[in-house]
Structure 1
Amino acid sequence: MGLFFGFNPIMRVAKLFLRKHPSQYMAEDWGQQQFNQTIAVICLAGGFISFLMNWTIAGYVFTIMVAAAAFIAILGFCVGCFIRYQWKQYQYRRSVEK
Structure 2
Amino acid sequence: MNQTIPRPLIRANQWIIVLSVIVSLLFGATWVLLVPLLAGISGLVFGKNPIMLAAKAALRKPLSSYIQEDRTQQQFNQWIAVSLLAACMLATWFHQHVLALIFETMVGLAAAVAIAGFCVGCFVRFQWKQYQYRRRTSQLISRN
TM-score by length of 1: 0.91
Offset from partner CA, 1:30-73 (integer Å, 9 cap, x none) = 11111111011111111111111111100100111000101111
**C-alpha displacement of 1:74:** 1.4
Given candidates 84, 91, 98, the residue that maps to 1:57 is: 98
Structure-1 residue corresponding to 2:123:
82
User: Whole-Å Cα distance in 1 between the matches of residues 96 and 52 of structure 2?
Assistant: 34
Q: Which runs of 5+ in 1 are unaligned?
A: none
Structure 1 residue matching 2:58: 3-state secondary structure: coil
Give RMSD over aligned pairs.
1.2
**Percent of aligned pairs with the same residue?**
53
Higher strand share: 2
User: Whole-Å Cα distance in 2 between the matches of residues 48 and 16 of structure 1?
Assistant: 30
TM-score by length of 2: 0.64
Given candidates 30, 53, 68, the residue that maps to 2:109 is: 68
Structure 2 residue matching 1:16: 3-state secondary structure: helix
Q: Which runs of 5+ in 2 are unaligned?
A: 1-41, 140-144
Structure-1 residue corresponding to 2:86:
45
Structure with larger RCO (C-alpha < 8 A, sep 6+): 2
**C-alpha displacement of 1:19:** 3.1
Structure 2 residue matching 1:28: 3-state secondary structure: strand
